[in-house]
Amino acid sequence: MEIAPPLISQAAAPALIEVDGLTKLYGDFPAVTDLSFSVRPGEVIGLVGPNGAGKTTTLRCLAGIIPATRGSVRICGRDLAGQPIEAKRRLAFFSDEPRLFDYLTVDQHLNFTARIYGVANYREIARPLLEELEMADKTDKLPGELSRGMKQKLAIACGLLHSPEVIFFDEPLTGLDPIGIRRMKDSILKRGRAGAAILISSHLLHLLEEVCSHVLILKNGRKIIDGTLGEVRQRFSEQSGDSSLEEVFFRATGESKGSP
Amino acid sequence: MIAGALFYYQRHWWRNRLLTRIRRLRQPKYLFGAIVGGLYFYWYIFRALGRGGPGVRFSPEHQDLVQAIAAAGLFVAVLLAWILPQSRAALSFTEAEVAFLFPAPIGRKTLIHFKLLKSQTVILFSAIFMMLIGQSWGGGNPVIRTLGWWVVFATMNLHSIGCSFARTMLMDCGISNWLRRAFVLGTVGLMAAGIILWVRYTVPPPPHLIKGTTDSTWLWRYADEIAQSGPLPYVLFPFRLVVAPSFAANAGQFLIALGPALAVVGLLYWWVIRSNVAFEEASVELSRKTAERIAAVRSGNWQAARKPKKAGRSPFHLRPTGLPAVALFWKNLTSAGSMVRARVLVFLVWMVIFAGFGLHSQTKQAGGLGAGLAFLALVLAGLSLFWGPQMLRNDLRQDLLATDVLKMFPLPGWQVVLGEVLAPAAILAAVQWLLLLVALILFPDRFNDYSTTLGARISFALAAAIVLPCVDLIAMLIPNAAVLFFPAWFQLGKDGPRGFETTGQQLILMFGQLLVLALSLAPAAAAFIIVFLLTSHLLPSALSVLLGGAVAAVFLLIEAGIGIRLLGGVFERFDLSGEVLREG
């Protein structure tokens, strides 16, 4: 799949996500060690690695949910530790399980989110967003009355309401049907083309191949490689640079394809 | 072979569960909880075993009546099983049991036997618990009491399963829940009418009903005659058979009573096993709902255990701009609104009216029913400071599992804390204002030898109305501070909130809350006293009270403000990775 170029020039634009020496310890256990990378506007970076590689911990540190033990994270030039409110105002994080309030309807979720982020014209933004997500007729429903996919869409609508410049996805396709998967991919590409910096953690390598411009491979909390898909392929290809991301992943992580 | 596998599962389930609970005592939070909980249980329950009870504490002439009352209680429980439930037959299994046992080559009778076997442990523990409570009241033989309670609980368990099967069969025959309820209630109504008529024309009423005097001996005799003669003994006969072993004074009496009771149990067992009802589908759904409820309760979020069935109305229009903390206040008020049902309010109103009537007799000389209700309102307003923070949990305790969402919001910590505690504090304050209003309206001008003017009452009510919301804010900050400082005590992990250690943890939290609240109130109380003493010579005392209340409120607000700021900082530094996320 061809990835359309972003609307703004990537090379000239400053990075929207700057991670420098990020380390996260759980007690003595290093979940992430000395991780550094940056993401510019329009770049969609795939975060891959085996189970326990530190992908979710990385995303949670970047979203300000858990504090980093060492290192710095800058979102749109704002230090996440020093200016957390300014940094968080510019990001959105979508976890693998949609996190919703059981007792708020779809409309109440949007109203609540608008007040938290101070989105004065939220109704004008929410209406086309709900229509795009095919939820316009479900505004008075509680999360308990929605399917898994619909809950995911509601979480996305809430997350996009304040037009974030930085977006983190943790396993965005979990529980979605084929139509939902198609729409989610389109939505990610659309945000990327609009200039958002996007970081996606997923085990679905074919998804990342379709939507990502860059890839970052983690193993045991450490970065093995990052770069454009082409660069990473080139580095880990045996003869030519046309290996699939799956083959690159197995070579880079030293995992065997036959292992369970 | 299958029975062996099921036994193996049950044995190891209990063994591993016990080992896990013992191992976690290595963590101080569980160890302290276990010590306090153990002392509590020893003091109130186990100590009675050592003392030895005097046996059945009812006098022999009341023995039959008490037994009849117990049988009537069982009758009501059985009756409710036919009236209240509306769902199809469902045996409660865990999600893992459903996943492993339902697709396995196991017959439905074996599944029912497994369920009955599994419930025996819970029944036995319940029986021992009831025996221990009975011992602390005074007694009898512990073995006889335990076995007696086992018969009662086993009967109720079998009846509940059989009843759910019968209910499902009736639904399959096109008999709706309402038709069944109408039939049951109609039958019971006819029986009750027959008994009342018989009593009216056969048993003379006790003297106090005629002369206006109270004589407990007559009352006992009157009730005894109703219970022992006429139609009621026939209605209660099967239920008396079941409760009879619990009332046996010695082993001989117990064995004599046990035979008929076991016959009833056997009959119910036969009914359950013979019922050919599909329970699997409803059981799968029930197991899912139970798992969700358990997860909510284990997170300390009792209210979320009841998922809202319909959306609560927005308490007010939330503008998209302004102080973000208001959004959290609005969210929690909406949550509280979705949990309150009309029937709860009706129940509360009835409770207040009944309690008012109860106090009426106590305060009849002093001011009648109005005074009774006024005093009740004041007592409830006072108690609300203690029970309010325990009952109203639409704050960080409710949102503990969503703390990662809160952490993502671009808000300073103090706004999150303020937004979270405002809703329960506001609800509590509204309830207290209502109680104060009731007290103000109904309080008598003269009570015993004291008289109060309307002005004094208004001034006291106003002072209380100013002070109470500020106290509520502090009272709500305390459990929320506990959530942030000791999240693991609220997020209890996968082993569940059971055992001595959990009771101990709750006791520690409760006493901690009282202590901190008392300490927090001390400066404001001192300010009130000083202002009152300084101004009471210059101003009318009603005005001094009001002025003192206002100054106390300012002190409390300053304390609350400092508390919110401090807790906000704690929230900002709160590391979920060490607490909620890792346990979840």
Domains of chain A: 17-90+164-251 (3.40.50.300)
Q: Looking at chain A, which residue has its C-alpha nearest residue B289?
A: A144
pLDDT, position B494: 43
Cα–Cα distance between B564 and B172 in angstroms, integer? 57
Bridge-based pairing state of the strands A70-75 and A17-26: antiparallel
> Looking at the partner chain, which of B321, B410, B576 has a beta carbon nearest the beta carbon of A85?
B410
Give A189→chain B minimum CA distance, Å: 24
Euclidean distance between CA atoms B471 and B478, whole angstroms: 11
- Backbone torsions φ then ψ of B537, nearest 5 degrees: -80, -25
**Closest Cβ–Cβ partner in B308, B320, B578 for A115:** B320
pLDDT, residue B575, reads 79
- B406 touches B399 (CB < 8 A): yes
Q: Give the ipTM.
A: 0.85
Of B307, B311, B339, the CB nearest to A140: B311
Which percentage of chain B shows pLDDT scores above 90?
Answer: 31
Residues of A in contact with B293 (CB under 8 A): none
Q: What are the C-alpha distances in Å from B47 to residues B31, B50, B141, B502?
A: 21, 5, 15, 20
Shortest Cα distance from A195 to chain B (angstroms)?
21
pLDDT at A3: 47
Separation in Å, CA of B145 to nearest CA in chain A: 44
Q: How many CB pairs under 8 A join A and B?
A: 100
User: Rounded CA gap, A170 and B441, in Å?
Assistant: 59
Calculate the CA dihedral of residues B479, B481, B484, B486 and round it to 10 degrees.
-60
Task: Name the average pLDDT for chain B.
Answer: 81
Q: How does pLDDT run across B270-327, given as a tens digit for each residue? A: 998 888 777 766 666 666 666 666 665 555 554 555 555 567 778 899 999 999 999 9
Which residues in chain B are closer than 8 Å to A26, comparing Cβ atoms?
577-578, 582
> Is A88 within 8 Å of B408 when comparing Cβ atoms?
yes
For the segment A136-162, the average pLDDT, to the nearest whole number, is 89
8 Å CB contact of B321 and A105: no
Give the mutation candidate from B301, B318, B323, B404 for the A interface (greatest A CB count, under 10 A): B404
Report pLDDT for B131.
Answer: 84
The rounded distance, in Å, linking the Cα atoms of B430 and B572 is: 30
Touching A: B residues 394-433, CB under 8 Å: 402, 404-405, 407-412
The pairing of beta strand A44-48 with beta strand A197-201: parallel
Q: How far apart are CA B346 and CA B332, in angstroms?
A: 23
The structure tokens 């009967």 sit at B155
At B538-557, the pLDDT tens digits run 888 888 999 999 999 999 99
In this structure, are residues B582 and A30 in contact, taking their beta carbons and an 8 Å threshold? Answer: no
Rounded Cα–Cα distance for residues B99 and B93 (Å):
10
Residues of B in contact with A57 (CB under 8 A): 577
Q: How far is B86 from chain A (nearest CA, A)?
A: 21
Pull the structure tokens for residue A240.
């030519």
* Nearest Cα residue to B273 out of B111, B451, B410: B111
Q: What is the dihedral of CA A113, A116, A117, A120, to 10 degrees?
A: 80
Pairing of strands A29-39, A78-79: unpaired
State mean pLDDT over A190-218: 91
Average pLDDT over residues A99-118: 92
In Å, how far from its chain's centre is CA A88?
A: 14
Q: Does B314 touch chain A (CB under 8 A)?
A: yes
- Mean pLDDT split into 10-residue runs, chain B, 584 residues: 76 83 78 82 69 55 81 91 78 75 79 85 87 70 88 93 86 85 92 88 69 62 79 90 88 91 94 79 66 58 55 85 94 82 64 61 57 84 89 86 89 95 94 90 74 84 94 94 79 52 80 90 94 89 91 96 95 73 38
How far is Cα B64 from Cα A43, in angstroms, rounded to an integer? 83
CA dist., res. B18 & res. B33, Å (int) = 16
- The answer to whether the CB atoms of B411 and A116 lie below 8 A apart is yes
CA end-to-end distance (rounded Å), chain B: 36
